[in-house]
Amino acid sequence: MELSPYFKSIVDQDPTSVVICNPEHTILYMNPAAVANYAKRGGAELIGKSLLDCHNPESCRRIREVSAWFASDVSHNRVHTFYNEKQDKDVYMTALRGEDGRLIGYYEKHEYRTRDASPFYDLR
């Protein structure tokens, strides 16, 4: 998948997992955090494979349902899909759209709730 250097850098610098899929659920891109997070499931080897192969039947049904919802209206763009209490994180699916508003894919994003306690502007 060809990403502009700017967008690739933004996604690659994100410390949380980002997995980008096309509307057919093929994994197109995983940032380094996602490759590391999903290493036990194949890591970078998952790129080019179906996201649906990584999930149980109920999760696959939900992924298809959300993808169809994204495609049904340009205002349908983000869904909270999961909360992991142990890691204190939320997981979202977010629509990706072309310039014409047409659904071109979606991505999964993990957002941790843990406060960052590192010092401000620490350049060491």
* Better pLDDT: 72 or 122: 72
- The pTM of the full predicted model, rounded to 2 decimals, is 0.87
On the question of pLDDT at 121 being above 90, the answer is no
pLDDT for 92-120, tens place per residue? 999 999 999 999 999 998 888 888 888 88
Which structural domains are found in the chain, ordered by start? 15-112 (3.30.450.20)
Q: How far apart are CA 74 and CA 92, in angstroms?
A: 17
User: Residue 4, exposed/middle/buried by CB under 10 A (0-12, 13-18, 19+)?
Assistant: exposed
pLDDT for 32-90, tens place per residue? 999 999 999 999 999 999 999 999 999 999 999 999 999 999 999 999 999 999 999 99
Q: For position 120, what pLDDT does the model report?
A: 84
Alpha helices in the chain (DSSP H): 5-13, 32-37, 57-72
Q: For position 124, what pLDDT does the model report?
A: 79
Cβ–Cβ under 8 Å, residues 109 and 16: yes
